[in-house]
Chain A
Amino acid sequence: MNQRLQLPEKFFRLAAWGSAGLSLLILVFMLILGRPLLGHDLFALVFHQPWQPDRQLYGLFPMLVGTLAVSTTALLMALPLAFGTAILAAIIRPGGCGRLLVRIVQLLTGMPTVVYGFVGIFLLVPRLRTLFGGGSGRSILAAALMLALLITPTMVLIFIDSFQRVPRGWQTAAAALGCTPMQTFRHVILPRAAGGLLSGTILAFGRAVGDTMIALMLAGNAVAVPCSLLDPARTLTSQIALVFAADFSSLEFKSIFLCGLILYLLTSTLTIALRLARPTVGYQP
């Protein structure tokens, strides 16, 4: 084989390792640009210092709490919704109306997040404001409600997939022993699908942590540590979006790379956990 003929394979290999290297390159860039802050007391920066740039305090603790509060609340709302919808679509009505439901859910996974944020501002926020009286209405609750709607479709699809992976023979065997469909589901399908349920939940949590627009538009972006669901909060992602216009050489600007570093480590840990939960599953766009 001559040299010219090997060109396509060389390109394929370069493309694969090049794009794989990109994920490491992102980490390296965050480390280089965030370096001036890495000299500070990192533990204090991340775990208790407040964010007061005018007093040279660049603590990210409020944003870390904000991120965790918004995404955990969203996950807690989305989980029962997704689980029930998956049961309906895969077990109770596997044909006709279940299939239609799956199609709708699939379509939902491709919807722009900024549209969810936009609708949230004009539909949800005013109603929350009148419902709970006072405040701006922009709160952890508002962001979590919209975020739940964003992550539910992904969860539903992975849950359905994990139900359907259970061998059909097992289900027929259970039916032959006199199980109703729901008993088959509870005793045969559910225990076997636990891994899939876990990976769907992890994936959804990762999406919730990484989403920027919904939290930025609906959570209120206050820099204090939130105490209740009705308090406004600022997430790590919003922090990056809000501060990036600062002077390039200021420490305030450098601190967003620390934000990025925390987010990167958080999401890649989730990705690795995902592979451990079910080694064969990849990221489903």
Chain B
Amino acid sequence: MKEKGLDRLLVFYAWTAALVLLLAVLAVFGFLLQRGLPVLNLKLIFGNADPLAALGGRQPVFDGLYPAIVGTLMLVVLAVTLAVPVGLGAGIYLAEYSRGRQRALLGLFFDILAGTPSIIVGLFGLTITIFLHRCLSAQIQPCLLISALSLAFLVLPYLARTTQAALEEIEPAVRLTAPALGASRRQNLFLVLLPQALPGIGSGILLAIGRCAEDTAVIMLTGAVAAAGLPRSLLDHYEALPFSIYYYSSQYANPEELQRGYGAALILLATCALLFILAFVLRQLLTRSRGIAAGWRP
């Protein structure tokens, strides 16, 4: 009888825990939707400027989220362009070329880098700026390029690890077929293994994009500011969505700015959720193609 009571208690506890978690999540996102949805419109993004003129760059936007959205977009494109080749290369090396102790050591370094708080990566970006400022040119300030570089450092270990995992998950039967038919190691890598791992690698890249778009600590140390307009060059200050959310939450001067904060939070949330769902669909695709490969027996 005591056992039965314990069983029931455990079941009751599990349900309560899950319910509390779901209610808390519902409260957070329900609150944001309730406050954010009504303010979502063109005026939120373009303010008093004419949307078409603003998109064409003929009219600056002073009271909307447009510069922050463009800033975040540029930041993400730049950071991912910098990080993807290196991250993929490192992941391929980890999965296909490194062995034994060397692999363990590399893995440890990647884990340490992945576990490093983003504000430390931002601080690292700041030190790079200071060094460049002293050694190269006094004109170098915290800017878009430095932020993108720091964000690239931030997502490097994720990219490497997801690429490594996608390659290592490939069935031995698939892995060995081409070499058995006389393909070289590199032919096997580029013609068989990488195409097989592509959905896994793609979902890793999407997650990295999400991480670049949402991270605030890195960019607040490396050049994001509250009001800059559109960045004129890669070496210029810029606005970004996550930083705007932080700024409006603490410094809002009127209800309109606060509403812009809610709008920005909702847009960022939707972007990240969308990227996450896309990555998930890609990974499902991976398991399906795996299924075909695994089911195929000569």
**Residues of chain A whose beta carbon lies under 8 Å from any beta carbon of chain B:** 5, 8-9, 11-26, 29-30, 33, 80-85, 87-89, 91-92, 101, 104, 106-108, 110-119, 121-123, 149, 152, 156, 180, 182-183, 185-186, 206, 209-213, 216-217, 237, 240-241, 244, 248, 256-257, 260, 263-264, 267-268, 270-272, 274-275, 282-283, 285
Which of B107, B113, B275 is the most central at the interface, judged by chain A CB atoms within 10 Å of its CB? B113
Asked whether B174 is an interface residue with its Cβ less than 8 Å from the other chain, the reply is no
**CB of B157 closer than 8 Å to a CB of A:** yes
* Cβ–Cβ contact B186 & A241, under 8 A: no
> What are the interface flags for B94-116 relative to A under an 8 Å C-beta threshold, 1 for contact and 0 otherwise?
10111000000111111111111
Q: Is the beta-carbon distance between B112 and A23 smaller than 8 angstroms?
A: yes
The CA of A200 and the CA of B266, in the complex, are separated in Å by 30
User: Is chain B's binding surface mostly helix, strand, loop or mixed?
Assistant: helix
Select from chain A the residue with minimum beta-carbon distance to B17.
Answer: A84
**Interface presence of B146 (CB below 8 A):** no
- Interface range for B: 35 or more
Q: Which residues of chain A are near B249, meaning CB under 8 Å? A: 117-118, 121-122, 217
At the interface, yes or no: B49 with Cβ under 8 Å from chain A? no
8 smallest A-B Cβ distances: which pairs? A84-B17, A210-B117, A15-B89, A112-B214, A20-B109, A16-B93, A283-B114, A12-B93
CA distance A260 to B158 in the complex (A): 21
On whether the beta carbons of B273 and A15 are closer than 8 Å, the reply is: no
Q: What are 18 A-B interface contacts by the 8 Å CB criterion? A: A12-B89, A12-B92, A12-B97, A18-B90, A30-B120, A81-B17, A82-B17, A84-B14, A101-B18, A114-B265, A115-B32, A119-B28, A212-B117, A240-B123, A272-B108, A272-B112, A275-B108, A285-B162
Q: Which residue of B lies closest to A29 (CB)?
A: B127
Chain B residues within 8 Å of A18, by CB: 86, 90
Task: Evaluate contact between A271 and B112: CB separation under 8 angstroms.
Answer: yes
B25, B108, B111, B115: most-surrounded residue (chain A CB, <10 A): B115
Distance (whole angstroms) from the CB of A197 to the closest CB of chain B: 14
In this assembly, does B151 line the interface, its C-beta being within 8 Å of a C-beta of chain A?
A: no
Asked if residues B25 and A149 are in contact (CB atoms below 8 Å), the reply is yes
Contact partner, A274, options B13, B111, B116, B120, Cβ 8 Å: B111
Known: A13-B97, A15-B89, A241-B220. A149 touches B24 (CB 8 A): yes
Q: Which residue of A lies closest to B221 (CB)?
A: A244
- Mostly, the A contact residues are helix
Residues of chain A within 8 A (CB-CB) of B18 are 84-85, 88-89, 101
A22 with B156: CB separation less than 8 A: yes
Residues of chain A within 8 A (CB-CB) of B98 are: 16
User: How far is A113 from B87 in the complex, measured between Cα atoms in Å?
Assistant: 24
Question: With the chains together, A216 CA to B92 CA distance in Å?
Answer: 38
Q: What 1/0 mask marks residues of chain B from 253 to 281 whose CB sits below 8 Å from any chain A CB?
A: 00000000100010011001101110010
Contacts A119-B28, A123-B27: A256 and B85 contacting too (C-beta < 8 A)?
A: no
Bound Cα distance from A25 to B265, whole angstroms: 34
Q: CA A84 – CA B18 in complex, angstroms?
A: 6
B3-11, B40-48, B73-81: which lies at the interface? B3-11
Set of chain B residues within 8 Å of A104, measured between Cβ atoms: 22, 25
- A66–chain B nearest beta-carbon distance, Å: 14
